[in-house]
Amino acid sequence: MEYFLQQLINGITLGSIYGLIAIGYTMVYGIIGMINFAHGDIFMVSSFIALIVITALGVTVSTGLGMTFLALILVLVSAMVIASVFGWTTERLAYRPLRGSFRLAPLITAIGISIVLQNYIQITQGARVKPLQPLIADGYTLMTRVDANGEFAVQISNMQILIIVVTIVLMTIFSLIIAKTSLGRAQRACEQDRKMASLLGINVDRTISTTFVMGAALAAVAGLMFLLYYGVIDFFIGFIAGVKAFTAAVLGGIGSLPGAMLGGLVIGLIETFWSAYFSVEYKDVAAFSMLAIVLIFLPQGLLGKPEVEKV
């Protein structure tokens, strides 16, 4: 029971990171019906930006708690601003000029931007992994088991608490933005019919650009959380995390924000429990097999809505 609880905590933490990235995928798809394949690499670039700013500020584990908190706020703002620029640029270069073209054209250009970002980071930062010493240490022991095999303690770290809390807060904020604000109404109108939304006075180009910026900002938050939690990054993490987050978005129901978060949690839990109880080499097989099984019985995903053909 104790081991199960520990893996549950680990799985929720990993799933929260996947969910933050997946929301960016599902927001873009909800409006223009296309996947931003450069989104995972924006997450990767955000991690490197955070590492560079942390190094420049000289933040270490010995830095006081108050100064560390202020420094991380500055790091987060820097990563979100720069990631938002990348998101806006991706929309302007890869999607807006080709919005009226055949559907594969913007996807190909987005993949091109993804490759450019990967190679840019590889050239400027090197191909080796970049480590970061833990900045947020300590945690809480929930329970302890002592048996013939020794002592096992169920722990939740302060970093895990931070990731889970940040994810819940951001999920709530973005859900309220979509449901309650004029921007959210514009996004929902563009999702239903962009041409009619334009006729009703909605600036479709600005709404789509804002959506890309919002998704990139969420990817920046996930990039910082990933860096602080794992402590190592490289130029290839964007591809791996991007594929997992895209899988989470599809599993939860592409176009649904709660579905993206639920899908992220499911993928994170499957990976964690499979690694704990079975062979770690096949954790990705287990995650993608679950996606296939769900889509066989629920083609729209766990929380997705079936598409209605317009006539």
Whether 18 has a pLDDT exceeding 80, the answer reads: yes
Whether 50 has a pLDDT exceeding 90, the answer reads: yes
**Which tokens is 278 given?**
């079975």
Mean pLDDT value across residues 11-23: 93
160-191 tens-digit pLDDT:
999 999 999 998 998 899 889 999 899 889 88
The answer to whether residue 290 sits within a structural domain is no
Kindly indicate the confidence band of residue 297, based on its pLDDT and cuts at 50, 70 and 90: confident
Q: Is 96 helix (H, G, I), strand (E, B) or coil?
A: coil
The answer to whether residue 34 sits within a structural domain is yes
Give the separation between CA 93 and CA 72, rounded to whole angstroms: 31
Whether 311 has a pLDDT exceeding 70, the answer reads: no
Q: Domains in the chain: how many in total?
A: 1
Query: What is the predicted pLDDT for the residue at 169?
Result: 93
222-262 tens-digit pLDDT:
999 999 999 999 999 998 888 899 889 989 988 788 899 99
Q: Is 103 helix (H, G, I), strand (E, B) or coil?
A: coil
The answer to whether residue 157 sits within a structural domain is yes
- Note the pTM of the prediction, 2 decimals: 0.91
The answer to whether residue 80 sits within a structural domain is yes
Most confident segment among 39-53, 58-72, 149-163, 179-193: 39-53
96 Cβ contact list (under 8 Å, min separation 6):
205, 208, 209
Query: What is the predicted pLDDT for the residue at 308?
Result: 57
Query: What is the predicted pLDDT for the residue at 42?
Result: 94
Give the residues across from 154 on adjacent strands: 143
Query: What is the predicted pLDDT for the residue at 307?
Result: 62
How many CB atoms are closer than 10 A to CB 95?
A: 22
Kindly indicate the confidence band of residue 309, based on its pLDDT and cuts at 50, 70 and 90: low
As a 3-state breakdown, the chain gives helix, strand, coil percent values, each rounded to 5, of: 70, 5, 20
The answer to whether residue 131 sits within a structural domain is yes
The answer to whether residue 170 sits within a structural domain is yes
Query: What is the predicted pLDDT for the residue at 266?
Result: 93
Kindly indicate the confidence band of residue 122, based on its pLDDT and cuts at 50, 70 and 90: very high
* Amino acid code (one letter) for 220: A
The answer to whether residue 224 sits within a structural domain is yes
The answer to whether residue 41 sits within a structural domain is yes
Residue 201, exposed/middle/buried by CB under 10 A (0-12, 13-18, 19+)? exposed
The domain containing residue 89 runs over which residues? Answer: 16-232
Q: What does the DSSP 8-state code read for residue 309?
A: P
Give percent above pLDDT 70 in the chain.
97
* Amino acid code (one letter) for 301: G
Whether 310 has a pLDDT exceeding 80, the answer reads: no
Whole-number average pLDDT of the chain: 88
Whether 16 has a pLDDT exceeding 60, the answer reads: yes
Under 8 Å between Cβ of 53 and 70: no
Residue whose token pair is 């639920």: 262
Q: Are strands 139-147 and 150-157 parallel, antiparallel or unpaired?
A: antiparallel
Sign of the C-alpha dihedral, residues 96, 247, 3, 149?
negative
